[in-house]
Structure 1
């Protein structure tokens, strides 16, 4: 847990005496009650750190003009009471804690987007305030912002889920104070695969008129609101707040979730944790602290990330005698190959609307095939012949003949391309080590031994230029990994698990790898890297071979296996 001791060091305490405050509120016939809160015990500096609105010139002009007369909307234009915690269900997410950072604007705007996602789509999301505040145009600072600019960023770039970028991950552990601001120092943290969880809005706006705000809250949803904060606000416990005593501290931004005509107040969700106020909520009287003066910010048209999930298994027919291999040369294109009962290689392809083939590509193959592509319309296929040499056949407007590339191999090959006119091929040698051959655009290099004691054919993936990740089953049936990052080969690392046969690997983007292999029960198992290694996911099926996989877009995987009926079966993630 983060400690807050630094909040009270080095400055004069500005704590209001709770007994004097209670007496003052009673004398003023105020409608709220105070108590000692964690926030009321902070220093002046600590209290300012919990705020974070930088008022725009328009805000300043509105403050100078003062409250405007409300438009003459009929009373039926809005309901007398609104609370989005109980308006055809709950549409308000849990109270958060911005901690010692002036990020209230992002907390309020994020809360509004979360509420609108629930209202528009029926999903209560948990979105990343860190992505909104630190990774956007605002930058890595706990300094303030304004809700209009924040909403514009949420429309332009969206924000990822809290799981993808937790708020705590933006700070050191424990957090350190930035000497330039005397606030916590945040950092920009990378968010791989943003599309997997990114949420955005299609439009946002500002509402100035009081009755129009109420009508919007009644008909559409919550808003973000800014207001002026005074010292007595930190001691709020319950009731309808009005400023009675204490100095002005700064501007704050919150989510307005409703209003009450009977109590003449706004209903509000704060971002100071549940230990403050009414479990993190408060009521503020109409006309108080310029709450009615600064415009409310709105968000609509929430765009959710695509819904990903695994399909069932579909049969693609055929009678195959090897694990399939697959590749994509472009969006919505897949080429899959496998050895047939005649020891020839057979080819089937998806053109975006239907499966074509089977077609025979000939050959007298000892192994199953490997296939890769380095540009649209280009395929390179490899097999081990009956003489244990590697053979190569390619498609570039038409299929070539077979060329021998040497070697003395004892497994299916694996092949990948990390750039134009580049191919890397791997296979197990007769010494059970992994061997490597490569095409550099003009010549075949190798063979080179990469060592290891392999109990399977290798698999290979590439997620960037000059990057290769290879995988094999070891003699202990665990998964092993070796990689090339441009300067040399790593050693072998054990990734655990139980591998029951030949495996496959693919990458849909930077720093992402997905692997598939038969497990102990010959179900298809899945393990992936997205900055760290996952556990094993069981995808079912009953496999009679190893696996093949291809990807043609981020978040898209197509897997192929031989079933117990010797047909080729297909399962995909989209």
Structure 2
């Protein structure tokens, strides 16, 4: 790496000290890259100068509203909410690494889908690991998206709503799809599909309401040089130039800190094991592109799991089972006889602590095998 291309963490720390240290900078995998390598991670095209001025003005209004205590309805919203820590459990999927490809929108969008699927079901251990490769290299390529062009969350999540996204096991991610992955013909047997998108851009209350009601939202923002070295604290731009646009998943907020809680897709060496705080109204995080979904249909096989619980009511065909890592699923069956037979098999599996393979379609078990 050329001397002029080295990342100067010491200079950023010095600038932070002059601002009374709002956050901490540290070396990480990003600061050890060349500038051109870091640029490959920024997959949201920056808007025109006129649009940038409007986004900056929006951010200033948000900061003023927060200062005036207008960003929280105290009768309805908690002062702090974190999907990554709800009473000691997390509804957020693990931190991933987009590698040297501008696919951050796919990672932020998939984090929205996975988090919403878990949170709306009340099942933090829900077995849902979706394919960023399908969303980005599959659907994205149909509209000219690639590692160099980047994308935006609303069209990405619209594909997830109208067409669906398969599981990581069906199409594993690699930078630039270098592993030669492709969509198998059976992908729709392993599919997540959003019920509807919700655009809550430039509305702090709407973002918070969505987080507490449904799950994560995307957060697009402008990246300045100093952001690559973020380690902890509440990020705000202190020094450096614009490097490009980026997308993360907003997974919570903290009014005491005046910040959003975000999950990044640059691996765990960045930030606090891949998570961080970004100040309200800063770097367009809450004024550019904040999109969530209101629910997620899941269709997949739940292989090698145990039945943990079961119950039935007096209503016709109303048996339910709690399947390990999948939560409560309603037992299907086109007839009462078929329903009873399937429910009986699942009860037996529960009593014997046997493993099952079950095919569920939007929460309804339609096929089972016990072994």
Q: TM-score range by the shorter chain?
A: 0.7 to 0.9
Match of residue 134 from structure 1:
137
Say if 2:95 is the partner of 1:95: yes
Residue in structure 1 matching 2:162, options 156, 162, 176: 156
Where does 1:154-553 land on structure 2 (aligned, <5 Å)? 154-168=160-174, 171-172=177-178, 189-207=182-200, 208-307=202-301
Q: Which moves more between the two structures, 273-282 or 190-199?
A: 190-199
Rounded Cα–Cα distance in structure 2 between residues aligned with 1:131 and 1:118? 20
Deviations along 1:251-308, one digit per CA (max 9) or x if unpaired, are 1000001111111111110000011111111111122111132131111220100556
Rounded Cα–Cα distance in structure 2 between residues aligned with 1:223 and 1:26? 32
Q: Do the aligned partners of 2:259 and 2:278 also contact (CA within 8 Å) in 1?
A: yes
Q: Do the aligned partners of 1:158 and 1:200 also contact (CA within 8 Å) in 2?
A: yes
Match of residue 6 from structure 2:
15
Q: Do the aligned partners of 2:210 and 2:292 also contact (CA within 8 Å) in 1?
A: no
Offset, 1:151:
0.5
Q: Do the aligned partners of 1:12 and 1:44 also contact (CA within 8 Å) in 2?
A: no
Match of residue 115 from structure 1:
115
Offset, 1:63:
1.6
Match of residue 27 from structure 2:
36
Match of residue 549 from structure 1:
none
Offset, 1:126:
0.9
Rounded Cα–Cα distance in structure 1 between residues aligned with 2:27 and 2:119? 36
Match of residue 315 from structure 2:
none
Q: Do the aligned partners of 1:62 and 1:294 also contact (CA within 8 Å) in 2?
A: no
Q: 1:119 to 1:43 in 2, by over 3 A?
A: same
Match of residue 79 from structure 1:
78
Rounded Cα–Cα distance in structure 1 between residues aligned with 2:51 and 2:199? 11
- 3-state DSSP of counterpart to 1:105: helix
Q: Which has the higher contact order (CA 8 A, sep 6+)?
A: 2
Rounded Cα–Cα distance in structure 2 between residues aligned with 1:354 and 1:280? 49
Deviations along 1:39-60, one digit per CA (max 9) or x if unpaired, are 0122221111111013578965
Q: Do the aligned partners of 1:63 and 1:290 also contact (CA within 8 Å) in 2?
A: yes
How many residues align? The count is: 300
Rounded Cα–Cα distance in structure 1 between residues aligned with 2:252 and 2:28? 24
Please identify which structure carries the higher helix content.
2
Q: 1:77 to 1:235 in 2, by over 3 A?
A: same
Rounded Cα–Cα distance in structure 1 between residues aligned with 2:209 and 2:267? 29
Deviations along 1:336-394, one digit per CA (max 9) or x if unpaired, are xxxxxxxxxxxxxxxx8699xxxxxxxxxxxxxxxxxxxxxxxxxxxxxxxxxxxxxxx
Deviations along 1:135-163, one digit per CA (max 9) or x if unpaired, are 10434721300001101011111111111
Match of residue 329 from structure 2:
none
TM-score with structure 2 length normalisation? 0.73
Match of residue 348 from structure 2:
none
Rounded Cα–Cα distance in structure 2 between residues aligned with 1:234 and 1:302? 32
Structure 2, gaps ≥5 residues long: 305-333, 338-354, 357-365
Rounded Cα–Cα distance in structure 1 between residues aligned with 2:336 and 2:73? 59
Rounded Cα–Cα distance in structure 2 between residues aligned with 1:72 and 1:190? 43
Q: Do the aligned partners of 1:106 and 1:132 also contact (CA within 8 Å) in 2?
A: yes
- 3-state DSSP of counterpart to 2:138: coil
CA-based RMSD? 3.1
Q: 1:12 to 1:62 in 2, by over 3 A?
A: farther
Q: 1:73 to 1:32 in 2, by over 3 A?
A: closer
- 3-state DSSP of counterpart to 1:237: strand
Question: Computing the radius of gyration over CA atoms, which structure comes out larger, 1 or 2?
Answer: 1
Offset, 1:82:
0.7
Rounded Cα–Cα distance in structure 2 between residues aligned with 1:52 and 1:210? 24
Q: 1:59 to 1:150 in 2, by over 3 A?
A: farther
Offset, 1:215:
2.5
Q: Do the aligned partners of 1:59 and 1:294 also contact (CA within 8 Å) in 2?
A: no
Q: Do the aligned partners of 1:225 and 1:295 also contact (CA within 8 Å) in 2?
A: yes
Please identify which structure carries the higher strand content.
1
Match of residue 312 from structure 2:
none
Q: 1:309 to 1:126 in 2, by over 3 A?
A: closer
Match of residue 552 from structure 1:
none
Q: Do the aligned partners of 1:103 and 1:144 also contact (CA within 8 Å) in 2?
A: yes
Q: Do the aligned partners of 1:130 and 1:170 also contact (CA within 8 Å) in 2?
A: no
Q: 1:60 to 1:205 in 2, by over 3 A?
A: farther
Q: 1:22 to 1:170 in 2, by over 3 A?
A: closer
- 3-state DSSP of counterpart to 2:28: coil
Rounded Cα–Cα distance in structure 2 between residues aligned with 1:193 and 1:210? 41
- 3-state DSSP of counterpart to 2:268: coil
Q: Do the aligned partners of 2:134 and 2:166 also contact (CA within 8 Å) in 1?
A: yes
Q: 1:298 to 1:61 in 2, by over 3 A?
A: farther
Q: Do the aligned partners of 1:115 and 1:124 also contact (CA within 8 Å) in 2?
A: no
